[in-house]
Amino acid sequence: MNTRMRRTAMAVAASALAVSLAACGSAAESGDKDKDSGDSAAKGDNIKVGLLLPENQTARYEKFDKPLIEKKIKELTNNKGEVIYANAKQDASQQNQQVDTMVTNKVDVLILDAVDAKAIAGSVKKAKEAGIPVVAYDRLAEGPIDAYTSFDNVTVGKTQGEALLEALGDKAEKGQIVMMNGSSTDPNAAQFKKGAHEALDGKVKVGREYDTKEWKPENANANMEGAISAIGKDKIVGVYSANDGMAGGIITALKAAGIKVPVTGQDAELAGVQRIVTGEQFMSVYKPYAPEADAAAEMAVALAQGKSLDSIAKDTVDSATTKGVPSVLVPVVSLTQENINDTVIKDGVYTVEEICTGKYKAACDKIGLK
Ligand code: BGC
């Protein structure tokens, strides 16, 4: 959508809002206490935000994204905003139903992290037609979304690829790597893969490459076992894993075969950071979730209140269906043994005590993490 079309769409949405506010006004006059009052300032804080996350196996969603978004919505609405939450547990059709239910229940705005960016487009359209704006969260959902927040996901993949090359050194020319990408229904996975290939292609031979169904660690584990028998355990010099959850499954397969090589990751999950401490995993990508969650909450509240996003969203991105979507893209950091202190600990994501539990104490001492 170009800017002019967006303005038109916003004007249409704004006049739809005016109509519904006028309707509410008369409802309030006739004593209907269940409806919001027609006063837009009063309505301003009494908003219902539908939050839809894609899965609950990767730790970030329940541990960081959900509580951070809820907290920020409360903060921005004097504790009056309500968040209605649904997790799709990797089921794209269930997520369509979850969106449809929220539209029926007349939430004021949606924050949506899609299981399947294409499959959700129809539901996004229904929300839009019902006058409910949609903020795409982390994954760029298709359909007429109003805003987007994420990280620069090509850079995430590039960061992983570059770190792997650095860990490989001379070995890059002497062996092969395995690439374990994320789910093909997730547009981020394609971007991570693109960035990783930009860094790795021509520098190291990719012996086997997989798109991992539903991002599941057990699928990554099975694929890794397949790669080991296809390539041969002595030829594998490293593994590109798109996230920490899969790195866990991959490292289990490597260990069972007696292989110790650098493995990448993403998300700075506690288990991933602990594997970095022990040296089982080489790196992760630290994506600060608070700024991403805050941006989603700020844009959702602004949209629900009919305010402009200009002071929040400085970038724009294009999806396959929608052009010029106002966006906030948060920078990322490569996380290795050297900068655990300056990243996840400094930002209060984990304490040293959480990372350095009994089993990890000696390894923590060794790298000076106290
Ligand atoms: C997210 C990653 C996450 C993965 C699996 C991606 O879209 O950006 O942080 O590890 O999905 O849920």
Ligand 1 atom nearest the C-alpha of 151 is 8
Residue nearest (by alpha carbon) to ligand 1 atom 9: 267
pLDDT for the residue numbered 370: 86
Neighbour count for residue 233 (Cβ, 10 Å)? 13
Ligand 1 atom nearest the C-alpha of 215 is 5
- Determine contact, residues 209/237, Cβ cutoff 8 Å: no
Q: At what angle do helices 289-304 and 66-76 cross, to 10 degrees?
A: 40
Q: Going from the N-terminus, what domains does the chain have, and what CATH number goes with each?
A: 9-151+289-330 (3.40.50.2300), 153-286+333-367 (3.40.50.2300)
pLDDT tens-digit map of 267-280: 999 999 999 999 99
Measured CA to CA, the distance from residue 107 to residue 60 in angstroms comes to 24
Which residues have any ligand 1 atom within 6 Å of their CB? 55, 58, 60, 138-139, 182, 186, 188, 215, 243, 266-267
pLDDT tens-digit map of 209-266: 999 999 999 999 999 999 999 999 999 999 999 999 999 999 999 999 999 999 999 9
Tokens (6 digits) for 130: 């019902």
pLDDT tens-digit map of 25-71: 333 333 333 344 344 444 589 999 999 999 999 999 999 999 999 99
CA of 67 to the centre of ligand 1 (A): 17
Ligand 1 atom nearest the C-alpha of 54 is 12
pLDDT tens-digit map of 119-149: 999 999 999 999 999 999 999 999 999 999 9
pLDDT tens-digit map of 60-100: 999 999 999 999 999 999 999 999 999 999 999 999 999 99
pLDDT for the residue numbered 26: 37
Tell me what the pLDDT averaged over the chain comes to.
Answer: 91
Ligand 1 atom nearest the C-alpha of 267 is 9
pLDDT tens-digit map of 274-325: 999 999 999 999 999 999 999 999 999 999 999 999 999 999 999 999 999 9
CA of 172 to the centre of ligand 1 (A): 27
CA of 287 to the centre of ligand 1 (A): 10
pLDDT for residue 23 is more than 50: no
pLDDT for residue 150 is more than 70: yes
Strands of the chain, DSSP E: 48-53, 82-87, 109-112, 134-137, 147-151, 176-181, 205-211, 236-241, 284-286, 315-317, 325-330, 333-335
Strands 325-330 and 284-286, bridge-based pairing: unpaired
